Structure 1
Amino acid sequence: MHYSPGAPILRSGDLINWELIGHSVPSLDFGEKYNLTNGHAYRGGTWASTMRFRESTGLWYWIGCVDFWYTYIYTAKDATGPWTRAAVLPGGTCYYDCGLLIDDDDTMYVVYGATDVSIAQLSKDGLSQVETKHIFSASDVGKDGIEGNRMYKKDGLYYILDDHPGDITYIWKSESPWGPYESKILVNGVKSPVSNGGAPHQGSLIQASTGDWYYMSFTWAYPNGRIPVLAPVKWGDDGFPFFVADESGGWGSSYPAPLPVEAVQKWTRTDTFDDSTLGPDWEWNHNPDETKYKIGNGGVTLSTATVTDDLYAARNTLTHRIHGEFPVGTLQVDFTNMADGDRFGLAAFRDRTAYIGIHRDGSKYTLSVVHNITQEESAWNTTGLGNIVATITDIPKDKTIWFRRHWTLERAVVTRPISHTV
């Protein structure tokens, strides 16, 4: 959520195969900490947001709350961009875990909130708030919290989908966007289709072009983190959807494909950086110093952007999301122009980080393996700068080297991106 550009967009023609096509938030221009120049934004940035297309304006709208204080609205004529910041709602207006509905009469509503859930009606241009109203609370279903709100309309009725974190997904129904709402459980502690995965929860309902409905959720599974899962839903005579479980009552390990399978760009591939801009599958850790890198002519050239011994404080750390259960990242590096004191490496990068890289000290170059670079989980401050666990000084004389990071279940330390940094 602190990677820049922010709010990545994926596209699919079959609900199974997905490809990254862009970002809704071109830059995290939310203050100095997003540049790593005055603090940091770890666990900040773009939280659960919403994106919808509006026929009347021909625009995509992205809405999300940042830092629990401001709600930002970005728009674009095409989902691939370019995206433009169109509005910032007054301070204190946070559409937390929000879902946008564009009604049949073109009115825009946003459902949002944690524990206490509200509905906001937006102005005709969708860029300001007309009114907001509390509609229900977690206590209405005897729970201590609710989050992950999404809003729909079907057959003249309004629906809200949200979750008690970790186990139960609720669906709420009303004849008016303002309520009153009655609720029903969609899934409760349903068994995951992924081995050793947690109960799927917190997702979205989707109507395919066939008219059939599906529930896309996620399951927590080590070492990847949140893994999307998809299952069909049907609609009952009571006007509520119900989950299509397997014979054991769990989330099926397989279901019939919703739509004919469409080919997408392969996630596993070689990037030679021939274009002048990075592809949508690359992001920076916080906003980069744009004067300290160049892209094109077959590579990315990084110059020293930060003098620090803390990897988490180093600007211009370039990241790439892992993919698959046992992902592999391979990188060719020309370190001819490293300066005295520079560090460069390929890392499994998250709140526990390890890397392999080149250290230059004077005229000495050392290939080093560093483990146990750590952050704590409250303010996400650095708690460990890492330990060198292996070194070698016999390195290629042409200053060109290949790095590879191969995750295995026994040794994986990452559920986020691989990254490299100077």
Structure 2
Amino acid sequence: MDRRRALTAAGGLATGAFLSLAGPSPTAASAPARVPAPGAPAPYTNPVIWQDFADIDVIRVGGTYYASASTMHYSPGAPVLRSYDLVNWEIAGHAVPVLDFGAKYDLNGARGYVRGIWASSLAYRPSNRTFYWLGQIDFARTYVYTATAVEGPWSRLTTISTPYYDAGLLVDTDDTLYVAYGNTTISVAQLSPDGRDQVRTQQVFTTPSSVGTLEGSRFYKINGQYYIFLTRPANGQYILKSSGGPFGPYTMRQVLLDLRGPIAGGGVPHQGGLVQTQGGAWYYMAFVDAYPGGRVPVLAPVTWTSDGWPVVQLVDGAWGTSYPGPAVPTPPRQVTPMTGVDTFDGTSLKPRWEWNHNPDNTKWSSGNGLTLRTATVTNDLYWARNTLTHRIQGPTSTATVQLDFSAMRDGDRAGLALLRDSSAWIGVRRDGGVTRVTMVNGLTMDGSWNTTGTGTELASTAVSGGRVWLRATADIRPGSARPGTFFYSTDGTNFIRLGPSFSLGNDWRFFMGYRYALFNHATQALGGAVRVLRFELSTP
């Protein structure tokens, strides 16, 4: 995590990565776009996921790829993504089921905005067929969670008193567990065989002042040599290499710096991980700063020099917007799309959903729709518990909600928000027995994540009956005007624009991108409820 920018990063093991290395040159190589040969994999387009998944750690276990990402104050935390081809991904589960790191993560007297799950590490240990997630929380200590399947259940294995900042976990070929971590000063720790304790830690590298900050460790053993993949936020990637063991000595080489990325108006690809396909090809999965949408994953092939250094393959001197697809076996099935319809027909939520802080589980239920009972009396959405969020799909997308508001009480506010440190919403408010659909903006936070504005109503109209459809559209292209717009309908077919466009903020300091958010909170007294009958995320 960048001290200058105040947060980020991750680590991991590319399963089956112990092969001979060969390749062209010690710097990023540029090549023209290639036309696939007959029978070759179809080309893919970057970003491979146009949603907010930052600080990526990517591994392969057999024929399946997994990736983890930062989630800050959202719960459950640390999503685990799954793919069979490195291009099409689904959310399989979460490694941190609940943010039980203090009352602030419950919105109980304090708030955890821009805290919580930062850059962390995902690894697989073949000896016990177990996945490991490792990350530090609040600079206080490190937590380790394990599961035998990424869908869970995940459980906490241990806490370690050393906070491994921006950690990368390596399962060595002899089954020893090592962790690379740190900012500018990079250290390596060895864990006990059961992974519960630290056996040894040692500083292994100090970043030259000419380079600046390095962090975001990924730790690998490839062809008998040890590599620590490091980020210079937010515009560079470097690698350390040791032939003398995990504790060094290490030499450093630049992988990329100020490289043009594949998203217009976005930043430099950086801070991700290396992974090898079953066929021996290598790829680098990084993210691009692309606010207001967040930090978005991109993928590029990697080759290696004859003396064992990685080289990102470029297109016309830039990270390509398109490359030939990875040559992998036919996937066993299609992954679950990250867009589409959810009718909340099961008793648990699908992995696409994350709460803003931990929820009060007594105040919501799923099955025949999502029921949100008011959990907080407040006029501030940033203090309201049980706000349920969904990542926005880029470059533009629309969220449509069918809402049953018949059980609302006076003073209640429920609806669909575009949620970040500057927010707006469309929803239903009930006051004095009168129900209105309203559009509100001006919900704001300062740089310390204290509320500075609780919202201003800009448009409203009376609504009768017990159901309404609410719609929000979001344009999260970094170089665009970044508008968010709101609509409502009383029949689900004819939608009416309500209120002016809302300009989505693109300041990086909140780190997480905008999300669609379902909320219901009281301003007078608890007891009211709404039911979300249907949620649809669609793209043009």
Q: What range is the shorter-chain TM-score in?
A: over 0.9
Show the 5 A alignment for 1:345-360.
345-360=415-430
| Equivalences for residues 341-380 of structure 1 within 5 A | 341-377=411-447, 379-380=448-449
Offset, 1:257: 0.5
Asked if 1:219 is matched to 2:282, the reply is no
Q: How does 1:378-393 map to 2 (within 5 A)?
A: 379-393=448-462
* 1:298-309 matches, cutoff 5 A: 298-309=368-379
Structure 1 gap segments, 5+ residues each: none
Distance in 2 of aligned mates of 1:214 and 1:164:
19
Q: Distance in 2 between matches of 1:42 and 1:126?
A: 30
Partner of 1:338: 408
- Distance, in Å, in 2 between the alignment partners of 1:214 and 1:266 is 23
Contact map agreement 2:292 2:514 (CA 8 A) in 1: no
1:58 shift after superposition = 1.7
Output the CA distance in 2 between the equivalents of 1:416 and 1:70: 29
Matches for 1:390-405 after TM superposition, within 5 Å = 390-393=459-462, 395=463, 397-405=464-472
Cα distance, 1:149 vs. partner? 0.6
Could you say which residue in structure 2 is the equivalent of 1:281? Answer: 352
> 1:275 Cα shift?
0.5
SS at match of 2:396: coil
Shift of 1:30: 0.8
SS of the residue corresponding to residue 245 of structure 1 reads strand
Distance 2:277 2:319 in 1: 19
Asked if 2 retains the 8 angstrom alpha-carbon contact of 1:355 and 1:369, the reply is yes
* Equivalences for residues 27-176 of structure 1 within 5 A: 27-90=98-161, 93-139=162-208, 142-175=210-243, 176=245
Counterpart of 2:299 in structure 1 is: 230
| Whole-Å separation in 1 of the counterparts to 2:280 and 2:299 | 16
C-alpha displacement of 1:386: 1.2
Tell me what 1:18 maps to: 89
Candidates 508, 518, 529, aligned match of 1:420: 518
What is the TM-score normalised by the length of structure 1? Answer: 0.96
- TM-score between both structures, scaled by the size of structure 2: 0.75
Aligned to 2:384: 314
Which fold has the larger relative contact order, with Cα–Cα distance below 8 Å and residues 6 or more apart in sequence?
2
- Displacement of 1:118 in angstroms is 0.6
Shift of 1:221: 2.1
Measure, in 1, the Cα distance between the counterparts of 2:238 and 2:185.
14
* Cα distance, 1:222 vs structure 2: 3.6
Equivalent position amino acid for 1:340 in 2: D
Q: What residue number does 1:9 align with?
A: 80
Aligned partners of 1:319 and 1:418 also within 8 Å = yes
Q: What is the CA deviation profile of residues 128-159 of structure 1, one whole-angstrom value per residue up to 9, with x for unaligned ones?
A: 110111111222x6233111110111111000
Secondary structure at 1:192's aligned position in 2? coil
**1:197-239 superposed Cα distances (whole Å, 9 cap, x missing partner):** 2111111111111111111111122432211111111111121
Question: 1:15 touches 1:259 (CA, 8 Å); kept in 2?
Answer: no
CA RMSD after TM alignment: 1.2
Structure 2 unaligned runs (5+)?
Answer: 1-71, 485-503, 506-512, 521-540
Q: CA deviation at 1:398?
A: 2.0
